[in-house]
Chains A and B, each alone.
Chain A
Amino acid sequence: MARTAANGHLKPHLNQNGLKREDIKRNGYHNKREKNGPGTCVASRQHKQESFEQAPMYVAVMTYLGFGIVTLFGYFRDFLRAVGIEKCHLAQEREEQKDFVPLYQDFENFYTRNLYMRVRDNWNRPICSLPGPVFDVMERVSDDYNWTFRFTGKTLHNVINMGSYNYLGFAENNTDFMKTVAEKTSQYGVGVCSTRQEIGNLDIHEELEQLVATFLGVESSMTFGMGFATNSMNIPALVGKGCLILSDEVNHTSLILGARLSGATIRVFKHNNMHSLEKLLREAVCSGQPRTHRPWKKILIMVEGIYSMEGSLVRLPEIIALKKKYKAYLFVDEAHSIGAVGPTGRGVTELFNVNPADVDVMMGTFTKSFGAAGGYIAGKKELVDYLRCQSHSAVYATSLSPPVTEQIIRAMKCIMGNNGSTEGIRRIRQLAENTKYFRARLKEMGFIIYGHEDSPVVPILLYMPGKVVAFAREMLERKIGVVVVGFPATPITEARARFCLSAAHTREMLNQVLHHMNEVGDLFCLKFSRRKHSSRPDLHDETGLELSS
């Protein structure tokens, strides 16, 4: 209740938060009105930096129209093949099996036969050089509409590589940098010929694991030969029946496969949506397991650092707060974010200033930023020691090859800046600069880009199937190699082209790519964005400059 002054007029004194002084009692408890102050916490800052703009309605209509027409023609061609007018190049049931359950009638086979096969020259292109910032592509043509290919013998040289996961540019063949790798190859050979538990545990593996633990700031780590297998083979060792896995909507196939193999119950929450996650957590803690209502043995939240199809970053501080509140465990898959984000390349924990000990299981791969192969799992010593005994990958899979191990060691030492060299920091800064520049210029041109401003994965939405295919072919004509992704990997109406930036790209290469993107965008009418952006991206600052977007 506000006190009125003697003359009946009330002049409210508003303090800093917009509250009347009368409403704050002496111990600081705010009575009735509480307005939200300006957002300065991490959550709202991240919300402003991420964007998932929706395309205008006509784009969705035309996408469905395009798919509808191709589907109709697909049915027509299937009819011709069934009647016998056209020869079927793919697998077909034999005459004797025609009365049994059909094998090739489901949607996936229909899609492969009638949509993918028509345009599959845009995928699986063979390259014949190092996947650095520029590479060589072998030219191949098809005489029968992509059912078979033949190589013409020509090579397209110096195609700009915008598809390789080469974030820090460590996919290089510079002999100075690779001296230690050559030495280790001549010392150990290339094959290990055994598993970690038998005779395949080399001293460089131990050195690598200690280095990874120091790099991440955790107690201990273990490395495996293959990144996909790290997820799919280790999650079954961590959770089992009677446990609950809360996994993000757009998690990678390796996480989904590992979760299914483990036998735990899986529940999916909306992408990066903390309300959805909290709701699921509350329900899980209150109701317990489905029929018996016993409490869950373990609740594991599985997220990724950078989601490779969306380019978005995980909301790590909020998830950690939720995890502590409901006593769950957290598994972060930093396949794309390790080495690529954070001021010194330590991943999302450094970017959000979070204690690495708060994340229970940190997983990552060496294929992306380190230019090698394999994956790691890091965390507390008890966890890693348990995995050494119980994980399928540790017991049965061959360990990392020595030259690959040495490549990871030298790349990690370079990032950590041993011997006082600044090469690692230079690469990280170059990647951050390239990311900011490229994203800002593309937004300014009018394309719809998904994801966070700092993420080096840039998905550009193309929507319509015809345009997606024409885009890939036209960019190859202009000597730029891009990766386009369509239905099974993305929702059917959101086909995109995904650019992966690298520290090895120079400003001239990026300008050339941007110039061609501009021309192709005008030629194919790909600039769907309805937002207006200023033309001076250098002015954009994170310290609260509230520009309308």
Chain B
Amino acid sequence: MALGDCWKSLSWLYYQYILVTALYMLEPWERTVFNSLLISVAGMAVYTGYVFMPQHIMAILHYFEVVQ
């Protein structure tokens, strides 16, 4: 039951995303292209963050002289 509600609300959220970005007007293959572009860009940002975040945090802490 909770899974059904969760699925419904996720489905509603996806519908809102489709409406706001006007993907509702596009054909299904165009929606796939846009969604995959968006997910790949977001994925690349997350990966970059994952790889470089420790170095950046160490640099900040070094600048504020919390750690040497």
Contact = CB atoms under 8 A, between A and B. Distances in A.
A466 B19 contact: yes
A466 B23 contact: yes
B19 A524 contact: yes
Contacts of B24: 466, 469-470
Nearest to A118: B25
A70 B26 contact: yes
Interface stretch (A46-54, A59-67, A222-230, A504-512): A59-67
A525 interface: yes
Chain B: number of interface residues, binned into ranges = 10 to 19
Contact of B20 (A73, A118, A466): A466
Interface in B7-38: 12, 16, 18-27, 30, 34
B20 A62 contact: yes
A406 B31 CA distance: 55
Nearest to B22: A66
A115 interface: yes
Given A67-B22, A469-B24, A73 B30 contact: yes
A62 B26 CA distance: 17
Given A69-B34, A73-B30, A119 B20 contact: no
Interface string A150-185: 000000000000000000000000000000000000
Contacts of A62: 20-21
Nearest to B20: A62
Contacts of A69: 21-23, 34
A449 B21 CA distance: 23
B20 A145 contact: no
Interface string A91-121: 0000000000000000000000001001100
A28 B47 CA distance: 81
A381 B50 CA distance: 84
A470 B19 contact: yes
Interface residues of A, number: 20
A381 B30 CA distance: 63
Interface in A110-150: 115, 118-119, 145
Tell me which of A69, A464, A469 has the highest count of chain B C-beta atoms within 10 A of its own C-beta. Answer: A69
Interface in A38-56: none
Tell me which of B12, B20, B27 has the highest count of chain A C-beta atoms within 10 A of its own C-beta. Answer: B20
A440 to B, nearest CB: 28
A230 to B, nearest CB: 37
B26 A118 contact: yes
A70 B27 CA distance: 11
Interface string A458-481: 000000111101100000000000
Contacts of B19: 464, 466-467, 470, 524
A465 B25 contact: yes
A466 B27 contact: no
A115 B25 contact: yes
A118 B30 CA distance: 12
Contacts of B27: 118, 145
Contacts of A119: 25
A436 B52 CA distance: 62
Nearest to A471: B19
Nearest to B27: A145
Tell me which of A65, A115, A118 has the highest count of chain B C-beta atoms within 10 A of its own C-beta. Answer: A118
A70 B19 CA distance: 12
A70 B16 contact: no
Contacts of A73: 26, 30, 34
B20 A66 contact: yes
A292 B26 CA distance: 55
Tell me which of B16, B19, B21 has the highest count of chain A C-beta atoms within 10 A of its own C-beta. Answer: B19
B30 A466 contact: no
Nearest to B18: A466
B25 A464 contact: no
Contacts of A466: 18-25
Contacts of B30: 73
Given A65-B21, A69-B34, A525 B16 contact: yes
Nearest to B16: A525
Interface string A58-94: 0000100111011001000000000000000000000
Interface string B49-66: 000000000000000000
Contacts of B23: 69, 466
A264 B15 CA distance: 51
A119 B27 CA distance: 11
Tell me which of A65, A66, A145 has the highest count of chain B C-beta atoms within 10 A of its own C-beta. Answer: A66
Contacts of A118: 25-27
B25 A469 contact: yes
Tell me which of B22, B24, B26 has the highest count of chain A C-beta atoms within 10 A of its own C-beta. Answer: B22
Nearest to A67: B22
B13 to A, nearest CB: 11
B20 A70 contact: no
A483 B18 CA distance: 22
A277 B18 CA distance: 44
29 contacts: A62-B20, A65-B21, A65-B22, A66-B21, A67-B22, A69-B21, A69-B22, A69-B23, A69-B34, A70-B22, A70-B26, A73-B26, A118-B25, A118-B26, A118-B27, A464-B19, A464-B20, A464-B22, A465-B22, A465-B25, A466-B18, A466-B20, A466-B22, A466-B23, A466-B24, A466-B25, A470-B19, A524-B16, A524-B19
3 A-B pairs with the lowest CB-CB distances in the bound complex, closest first:
A66-B22, A466-B24, A466-B19
Interface of A: 62, 65-67, 69-70, 73, 115, 118-119, 145, 464-467, 469-470, 523-525
